[in-house]
């Protein structure tokens, strides 16, 4: 009855006919269910006090960390027509390898000898500059020579003036002497004339004195005439001095004017030479632009312009290239409400498309297939999709490195690890729609950092 014996009576007695059997067995079931409920409650209460890591999830793609290592397109700097392709899609190219050859389509550059002809014009213009330099030097020497000649001529004229002044001075003294002789001869003549009237002198003596008087007067007039001639000569020499100065000043002014004209023409020729050198350099560089070359080592991904004879415009995209060497990273987009919770250096766990992962968002330590990373950049402006972009890179101190076969453009999902809280707190937060707690990651201070602080 109590089912104590090892021998079962279930096949011999119909328990449904006896009420006592059902009462005993129902009591055992109730006790077992009660124990199960109590155990479940204890387990649930214990679960509520387990640690839970708050997190923020987001999605994005794999990119290159440095801008110059990201996929980009190659443009044509000039307009042209496609003549020949040297690569295929998927080919590996090194920096400087020729990808495409184009030909000229603009009328201004169609001459195949344009560079050579421009160089000939430049050489001729340089020769012209040399001729102008020679002319400027010759005119400068001519001006210097004229200045020296002017000084000599002026000095010579001054000497003539000095001689004329001395001659005037000499004639003036001689004239004064002749005037004195005339006055003496006049007095002697008058005195002799008075004595002759008194009968004291003879007529012969009177005539001699008169003759001497006339001779003195003639000499005086001649001396005065000579003095006037000397003075006139002095004036002429002064006039000659001014004429010499005017003549040489005009010659110097004309030579200087010719020199300045030559200098102006030389500067104009120098400007033409500089302009032609610029054109020659531009034409030379333009000829090099007919060959589109790889800007860096990488792989040709897609040809935008195809076929032979197809024309391309200036600045138009021709082909896209993926750099061979790049530092892997990921760009992820986070909701605006969660942006204040993130900062540079924050740890993020990533999952990539194609790599299996078992994720327990609240227990990152028991998750499998996630890769450690840290935030290196957070945009200050919102993206077109209404979210903020963050950039993460692999953490250097982790043993589990990112997969080497990752390709740029692959999908990625991220979980930013925040503060550790109990499970009950996280449930309460989720039920009330509160954001995760603001959390600053504690940075480990290394020996090097301590030395820097010291």
Overall pTM > 0.85: no
Q: Is the pLDDT of residue 454 over 60?
A: no
Residues with Cβ within 8 Å of 316's Cβ and at least 6 positions away in sequence, in order, are 75, 76, 305
Q: What is the pLDDT of residues 327-374, one digit of tens each?
A: 888 999 988 888 887 888 888 888 888 777 766 666 666 566 678 888
Residue-wise pLDDT for 441-452, tens only, equals 555 444 445 455
pLDDT at position 10: 60
CATH T-level topology, domain 72-104+294-323: OB fold (Dihydrolipoamide Acetyltransferase, E2P) (2.40.50)
pLDDT tens digit string along 228-274? 888 888 888 888 888 888 988 898 899 888 888 888 888 888 888 89
**For the residues 397-405, what does the mean pLDDT come to?**
71
* Lowest mean per-residue pLDDT among 75-89, 101-115, 357-371: 357-371
Give the pLDDT confidence score for residue 113 in this predicted structure.
84
Q: Which numeric CATH code is attached to 114-288? A: 1.10.287.950
Domain spans of the chain, in order of start: 1-48, 53-68+326-453, 72-104+294-323, 114-288
Domain 53-68+326-453 has CATH 2.40.30.170: yes
Query: How buried is 403 (Cβ within 10 angstroms: 0-12 exposed, 13-18 middle, 19+ buried)?
Result: middle
């Amino acid at each position: 009855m109590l089912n104590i014996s090892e021998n079962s009576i279930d096949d011999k007695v119909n328990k449904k006919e006896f009420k006592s059997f059902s009462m005993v067995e129902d009591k055992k079931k109730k006790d077992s269910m009660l124990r199960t409920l109590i155990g479940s409650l204890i387990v649930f209460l214990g679960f509520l006090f387990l640690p839970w890591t708050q997190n923020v999830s987001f999605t994005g793609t794999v990119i290159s960390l440095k801008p110059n290592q990201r996929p980009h397109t190659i443009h044509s700097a000039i307009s042209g027509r496609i003549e020949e392709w040297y690569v295929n899609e998927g080919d590996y190219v090194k920096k400087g390898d020729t990808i495409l050859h184009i030909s000229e389509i603009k009328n201004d550059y169609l001459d195949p000898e344009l560079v050579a002809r421009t160089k000939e014009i430049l050489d001729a213009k340089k020769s012209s500059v040399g001729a102008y330099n020679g002319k400027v030097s010759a005119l400068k020497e001519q001006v210097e020579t004229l200045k020296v000649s002017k000084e000599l001529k002026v000095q010579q004229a001054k000497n003539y003036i000095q001689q004329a002044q001395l001659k005037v001075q000499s004639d003036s003294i001689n004239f004064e002497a002749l005037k004195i002789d005339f006055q003496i001869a006049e007095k002697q003549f008058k005195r002799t004339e008075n004595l002759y009237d008194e009968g004291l002198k003879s007529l012969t003596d009177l005539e001699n004195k008169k003759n001497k008087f006339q001779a003195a007067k003639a000499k005086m007039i001649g001396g005065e005439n000579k003095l006037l001639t000397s003075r006139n000569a002095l004036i002429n020499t002064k006039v000659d001095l001014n004429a010499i100065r005017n003549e040489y000043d005009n010659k110097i002014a004309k030579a200087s004017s010719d020199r300045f004209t030559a200098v102006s023409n030389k500067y104009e020729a120098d400007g033409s030479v500089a302009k032609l050198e610029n054109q020659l350099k531009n034409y030379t560089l333009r000829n090099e632009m007919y060959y589109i070359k790889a800007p860096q080592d990488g792989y040709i991904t897609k040809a935008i312009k195809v076929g032979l004879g197809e024309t391309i415009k200036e600045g138009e995209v021709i082909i896209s290239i993926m750099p061979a060497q790049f530092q892997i990273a990921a760009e992820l987009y986070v909701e605006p409400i969660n942006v204040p919770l993130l900062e540079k250096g924050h740890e993020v766990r990533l999952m990539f498309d194609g790599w299996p992962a078992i994720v327990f968002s609240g227990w990152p330590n028991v998750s499998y297939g996630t890769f450690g990373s840290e935030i290196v950049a957070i945009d200050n402006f919102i993206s077109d999709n209404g979210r903020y972009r963050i950039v993460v890179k692999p953490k250097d101190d982790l043993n589990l490195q990112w997969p080497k076969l990752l390709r740029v453009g692959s999908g990625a999902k991220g979980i930013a690890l925040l503060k550790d809280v109990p499970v009950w707190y996280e449930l309460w937060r989720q039920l009330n729609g509160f954001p995760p707690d603001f959390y600053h990651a504690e940075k480990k201070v290394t020996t090097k950092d301590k030395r820097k602080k010291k």
